[in-house]
Structure 1
Amino acid sequence: MTPELKELERQIIKKHKFGFTPKYESGFQTCLSEKAFFAITNQVFEKLEWDIIYIDEHAVEAKRKVKSLGITQYTESIIISYNYGSITVKSESLGSEMWDNGRNSKRVHLFMLVFQDIEKNYNREDLKQLEKEQESIENWDNYIIPKELPQPKNVKKPTIIFVFVIGILISIILAFLLAKISITGRYIIFLFEFLVGLALAFSIKQGIKLGNYTNLTKLKYILILCTLIIFVGTQIFEYYIILIENNFEKIGFFEFMKIRLQQGLTIKDLNIGSIGLIISWIIQLFLTFIFGFLFLTRFLINYLIKRVPQEVTEFAYYLIIKGKDEHEVRKELTYLGWSDEISQNEVFEAIDGIQGNNELNRTR
Structure 2
Amino acid sequence: FHTQLSDKAFFAITNQTFEKLDWDIVYVDEYSIEAKRKVKSLGMTQYTESIIVSYKYGNIMVKSESLGNEIWDNGRNSKRVHLFIYIFHDIEKNYNREELKQLEKEQESKDNWDNYQIPTELPKPKSVRNQNIIFPILVAIITSILLAFIIAKISLTGKYIIFLFEFLIGLALAFSLKLGIKLGNFTDYNKLRNILIGSILIFFIGNQLFQYYFILAENDFVRIDFFEFMKIKLEQGLIIKSLNVGSIGLIISWILQLGLTFIFGYLNLTRFLISYVVKRIPTEVIDFAFFHFIKGKTEQQVRAELASLNWSDEQNQNEVFEALDGIQGNNEMNRTV
TM-score normalised to the size of structure 1?
Answer: 0.91
Residue in structure 1 matched with residue 264 of structure 2 by the alignment: 291
Residue in structure 1 matched with residue 230 of structure 2 by the alignment: 257
- Taking the aligned partners of 1:83 and 1:61, their CA distance within structure 2 comes to 15
**In the alignment, residue 53 of structure 1 is paired with which amino acid?**
V
Offset at 1:100?
2.1
Is residue 211 from structure 1 mapped to residue 184 from structure 2 by the alignment?
Answer: yes
Q: Please list the CA deviations of residues 301-328 of structure 1 after superposition, one character each: whole Å capped at 9, or x if unmatched.
A: 1111111011100100000000111111
Equivalent residue in structure 2 for 1:227, among 192, 200, 211: 200
Residue in structure 1 matched with residue 62 of structure 2 by the alignment: 89
Residue in structure 1 matched with residue 327 of structure 2 by the alignment: 354
- Taking the aligned partners of 1:41 and 1:256, their CA distance within structure 2 comes to 63
Is residue 196 from structure 1 mapped to residue 179 from structure 2 by the alignment?
Answer: no
Equivalent residue in structure 2 for 1:54, among 2, 8, 27: 27
Offset at 1:30?
0.7
User: How is 1:292-331 mapped onto 2 (pairs within 5 angstroms)?
Assistant: 292-331=265-304
User: How is 1:131-142 mapped onto 2 (pairs within 5 angstroms)?
Assistant: 131-142=104-115
User: How is 1:1-364 mapped onto 2 (pairs within 5 angstroms)?
Assistant: 28-364=1-337
Q: Please list the CA deviations of residues 105-157 of structure 1 after superposition, one character each: whole Å capped at 9, or x if unmatched.
A: 22111111111111112222221111111111111111110111111112211
Offset at 1:71?
1.8
Moved more, 121-130 or 94-103: 94-103
Offset at 1:228?
0.4
Offset at 1:249?
2.0
Secondary structure at the residue paired with 2:336? coil
Structure 1 residues not aligned, in runs of 5+: 1-27
Residue in structure 2 matched with residue 15 of structure 1 by the alignment: none
- Taking the aligned partners of 2:256 and 2:68, their CA distance within structure 1 comes to 23
Moved more, 319-328 or 42-51: 42-51
- Taking the aligned partners of 1:291 and 1:72, their CA distance within structure 2 comes to 19
Secondary structure at the residue paired with 2:46? strand
Offset at 1:92?
1.3
Moved more, 93-102 or 260-269: 93-102
Backbone CA RMSD of aligned residues? 1.0
Between the aligned residues of both structures, percent identity stands at 71
Secondary structure at the residue paired with 1:225? helix
- Taking the aligned partners of 1:331 and 1:361, their CA distance within structure 2 comes to 32
Q: Please list the CA deviations of residues 7-32 of structure 1 after superposition, one character each: whole Å capped at 9, or x if unmatched.
A: xxxxxxxxxxxxxxxxxxxxx11111
Secondary structure at the residue paired with 2:99? helix
Structure 2 residues not aligned, in runs of 5+: none
- Taking the aligned partners of 1:215 and 1:35, their CA distance within structure 2 comes to 38
Secondary structure at the residue paired with 1:289? helix
Offset at 1:283?
1.1
- Taking the aligned partners of 1:273 and 1:94, their CA distance within structure 2 comes to 35
Offset at 1:95?
2.4
**In the alignment, residue 217 of structure 2 is paired with which amino acid?**
I
- Taking the aligned partners of 1:170 and 1:81, their CA distance within structure 2 comes to 46
Residue in structure 2 matched with residue 3 of structure 1 by the alignment: none
Stretches of 4+ moved more than 6 A in 1? none
Secondary structure at the residue paired with 1:29? coil
- Taking the aligned partners of 1:53 and 1:261, their CA distance within structure 2 comes to 47
**In the alignment, residue 304 of structure 2 is paired with which amino acid?**
K
Secondary structure at the residue paired with 2:156? helix
Secondary structure at the residue paired with 2:17? helix
